[in-house]
């Protein structure tokens, strides 16, 4: 890993802190002064207000996404919105949905303003984290899969990336070479295997890719997704794998393998029931599921190395990273189904 890669996150934070970009974007979108930082992992995300109504302001540095990448995300989001799916509305300022703000080093931040989703956050330990939620989760993902089947990327903007274009699929770029030979070899083998899967319209398309419980609100009946920053062309089975993967990961940090397996089976039963209310499950999804569970281990292990410096890793995070490393080396998914 280069010095620049290891320190890029801190550098970008300093760029933003040393500028008037946040203040300027509040003025551009006509926002009130007060705001609350919600996240700064890959984008800087704030809850803001306009006329007493809450919105979400996102600032993205060009090192994370290009202007055209963001434009393609918004084009798809607008398509989903026009299809009646309850995704965030992208607001405009001066006739534009993306506002560019220059930095002192010549780079840029891109600002977008979104409507805030209804409902409330749900934790994996909440009482509402149950079968009704799992079915709603399945329904919203099926609705997006159904809508994406008739979506065509805007030729002037360009398409979102394919699943295999993300740099975090390549651990050798971010993990130390020493002690990671099996990680790198097994990751390459897994990616080669996935590339052989059928990719027809009923099983492959532009999807959210990251709809875990931290990326939606729930009102007791419906799931309201947000954070489409990682949307990419991928297998629908991967979009199904992500919800159950993260549910198991966070609910059973110290759980037994038997507990993980049993929970996953129950989760998928309800999730699939909700999905099938909207459309048929993608062909071969259940057989493909272990591949995408293992792929998410690779992605998560790599992104943690990329984004979090060794000195900033907590004991709990180091324990999780050790589990990820072990599963990748052993070619085992986070859970198995009978």
Amino acid 222: pLDDT? 98
- Report how far residue 81's alpha carbon sits from residue 74's, in angstroms, rounded to the nearest whole number: 10
Whether residues 227 and 104 fall in one domain: no
Q: Give me the pLDDT at residue 307, please.
A: 84
Whole-number Å distance between alpha carbons of 112 and 114: 7
Q: Look at residue 126 and tell me if it is in a domain.
A: no
Whether residue 101 sits in one domain with residue 248: no
Is 255:334 a contact under the CB 8 Å cutoff? no
Kindly report the CATH number assigned to the domain that includes residue 67.
Answer: 3.30.200.20
Determine, yes or no, domain membership for 338: no
Does a structural domain hold residue 51?
A: yes
* Token pair for 163: 């699943």
Is there a single domain that holds both residue 143 and residue 92? Answer: no
Listed in sequence order, the DSSP H helices in 216-314 are 236-251, 257-276, 285-307
- Determine, yes or no, domain membership for 121: no
Angle between helices 131-148 and 257-276 (to 10 degrees): 50
Question: What is the rounded distance in angstroms from the CA atom of residue 138 to the CA atom of residue 133?
Answer: 9
Quick one: 71 and 140 in the same domain? no
Angle between helix axes 181-194 and 315-330 (nearest 10 degrees) is 60
Residue 111 and residue 183 in one domain? no
Residue 277 CA, chain-centre distance (Å), reads 24
Instruction: Indicate if 98 and 179 belong to the same structural domain.
Output: no
pLDDT score for 7: 65
**Assigned domain for 212 exists:** yes
Q: Which domain holds residue 13?
A: 3-115
**CATH code of the domain in which 290 resides:** 3.90.1200.10
Q: Which residues of 29-49 are buried (b: 16+ CB within 10 A; e: fewer)?
A: bebeeebeeeeeebbbbbebb
Q: For the chain, list residues with pLDDT below 50.
A: 1-4, 6
Number of folded domains that form the chain: 2
Based on the fold, state whether residues 106 and 18 are members of the same structural domain: yes
Q: What are the pLDDT digits (tens) for 207-224?
A: 999 999 999 999 999 999
Final residue of a domain: which of 115, 145, 179? 115
Residue 4: the pLDDT is: 47
pLDDT (0 to 100) of residue 2: 40
**Do 311 and 232 form a contact (C-beta atoms < 8 A)?**
no
Domain-ending residue, one of 89, 115, 141: 115
Helix (H) or strand (E) holding 11: helix 3-17
The phi and psi torsions of 3 (rounded to 5 degrees) equal -60, -40
- For residue 49, the cross-strand partners are 54
Each residue's pLDDT tens digit, 110-135: 999 999 999 999 999 999 999 999 99
Residues 50 and 199 in one domain: no
Say how far residue 177 (Cα) sits from the centre of its chain: 27
Residues 319 and 282 occupy one common structural domain: yes
Q: Per the confidence metrics, is the pTM higher than 0.85?
A: yes
pLDDT in tens, 255-269: 999 999 999 999 999
> Would you list the DSSP string of 178-236?
TT-HHHHHHHHHHHHHHTTS---TTTEEEE-S---GGGEEE-SS-EEE---TT-EEEEH
Query: Sign of the CA dihedral 145, 84, 159, 13?
Result: negative
135 shares its domain with 111: no
- Domain end position, chosen among 82, 115, 148: 115
Q: How far apart are CA 96 and CA 218, in angstroms?
A: 30
By C-alpha distance, which of 212, 226, 314 is closest to 45?
226
122 in a structural domain: no
């Amino acid at each position: 890993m280069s010095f620049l890669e290891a320190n890029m996150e801190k550098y970008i934070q300093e760029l933003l802190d040393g500028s008037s970009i946040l203040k300027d974007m509040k003025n551009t979108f006509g926002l009130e002064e007060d705001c609350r930082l919600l996240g700064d992992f890959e984008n800087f995300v704030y809850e803001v207000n306009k006329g007493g109504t809450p919105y979400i302001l996102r600032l993205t540095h060009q090192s994370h996404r290009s202007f055209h990448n963001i434009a393609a995300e918004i084009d798809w989001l607008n398509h989903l919105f026009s299809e009646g799916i309850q995704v965030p509305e992208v607001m405009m300022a001066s006739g534009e949905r993306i506002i560019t703000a220059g930095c002192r080093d010549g780079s840029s931040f891109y600002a977008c303003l979104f409507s805030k989703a209804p409902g409330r956050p749900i934790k994996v330990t909440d009482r509402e984290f149950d079968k009704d939620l799992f079915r709603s989760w399945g329904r919203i993902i099926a609705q997006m899969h159904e809508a994406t089947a008739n979506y065509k990327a805007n030729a002037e903007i360009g398409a979102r990336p394919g699943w295999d274009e993300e740099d975090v699929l390549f651990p050798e770029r971010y993990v130390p070479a020493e002690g990671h030979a099996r990680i790198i070899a097994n990751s390459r083998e897994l990616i080669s295997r996935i590339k052989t899967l059928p990719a027809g319209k009923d099983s492959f398309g532009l999807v959210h890719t990251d709809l875990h419980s931290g990326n939606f609100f729930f009102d007791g009946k419906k799931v309201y997704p947000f954070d489409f920053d990682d949307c990419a062309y991928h297998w629908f089975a991967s979009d199904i794998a992500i919800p159950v993967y993260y549910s198991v990961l966070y609910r059973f940090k110290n759980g037994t393998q038997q507990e993980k397996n049993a929970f996953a089976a129950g989760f998928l039963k309800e999730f699939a029931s909700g999905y099938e209310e909207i459309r048929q499950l993608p062909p071969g999804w259940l057989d493909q599921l272990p591949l995408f569970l293992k792929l998410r281990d690779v992605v998560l292990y790599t992104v943690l190395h990329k984004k979090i410096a060794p000195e900033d890793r907590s004991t709990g995070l180091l324990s999780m990273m050790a589990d990820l490393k072990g599963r990748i080396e052993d070619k085992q998914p986070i859970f198995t189904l009978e």
